[in-house]
Amino acid sequence: MSKDKLYICFNFILFLNFFLVSSESLAFMNIESLRRTKKTGYHGSGSFRVSGALGNVDKLISDNSVSNFYKTTDTEWLLFLNNRYGEALSKKNTNKGKAHLRYTVKLKQQWGLELFSQGEYDEFQRLSSRYILGQALRYSALDTTKESLFLGFGVFYEWEKLSEELFENTPLRQDNYRFNFYLSYHYELESKQTYFLTLYVQPYKFEDFRVLSSMGYSIPINSYFSVSVEANYFYDSKPTFGVEKTDLNYLTSLNYSF
């Protein structure tokens, strides 16, 4: 079977997994680490991770992701999908998924315009569904073969549906606008190892804001495979009732790209 056919099958399996796990599949994720490539035309990457343990602690975690790109000299399309499921002691403790579609067109000199749509669900964050539509200006402060720095300034509209398990006086639907500012830095060593740092700040009001920080590095194995390590920090000043303000997680993965 050819590489293209294998990749089409991977996409199809992930779509089934993403939409069947939750009927309301489909706020914000870090997609900056996916945009480092300089290739034009269609290309993509994907990863599939499963870990588990049996004995004193029974545990299962699966994480699937796929990204699709179509890029020309002045435009870029990006579609990203991710699903994560986990169990401990035969009890489900993780069930969430995300999707992101983004179109970017180059404007004059170092500026670009981005239009994006995104959504997610997270059962254990009491989030039934959240959808986003937005736009942003993207500024290229530095862009070389080894190093890049991008800044983003924009706004998006989000509407979310919370779990019905919340208290009666908690509104199950919330809609509002948020500003969206981001910084994306990427540096590549002579050995082709890649280091990256991304920071998002998304205020609604002075006392209501979100911060997402992501940093990590990627080590190539050959032209198609790489190993990456990434740490993510998320802070929500006004989370859903019963949900912690801070989340910290780290991830090691084997990635395939073409």
Q: What is the pLDDT of residues 212-258, one digit of tens each?
A: 998 988 888 888 888 888 888 989 888 876 778 888 877 777 888 77
Q: What is the pLDDT of residues 163-198, one digit of tens each?
A: 766 555 666 777 889 999 999 999 988 878 889 999
Contact partners, residue 150, CB within 8 Å, separation at least 6: 32, 138, 139, 140, 141, 143, 182, 183, 184
CA distance 205 to 191: 44
pLDDT at 55 over 60: no
Provide the pLDDT for residue 8: 47
**Number of helices and strands in the chain (H, E):** 1, 12
Name the pTM for this structure: 0.75
CA distance 239 to 132: 17
- Beta carbons of 128 and 102 less than 8 angstroms apart: no
Max CA distance (Å), the chain: 60
Mean pLDDT rounded to a whole number for the chain: 79
CATH (residue range 3-257)? 2.40.160.40
Contact partners, residue 43, CB within 8 Å, separation at least 6: 37, 69, 71, 257, 258
Residue with tokens 């959240």: 130
Q: Which amino acid, 94?
A: T
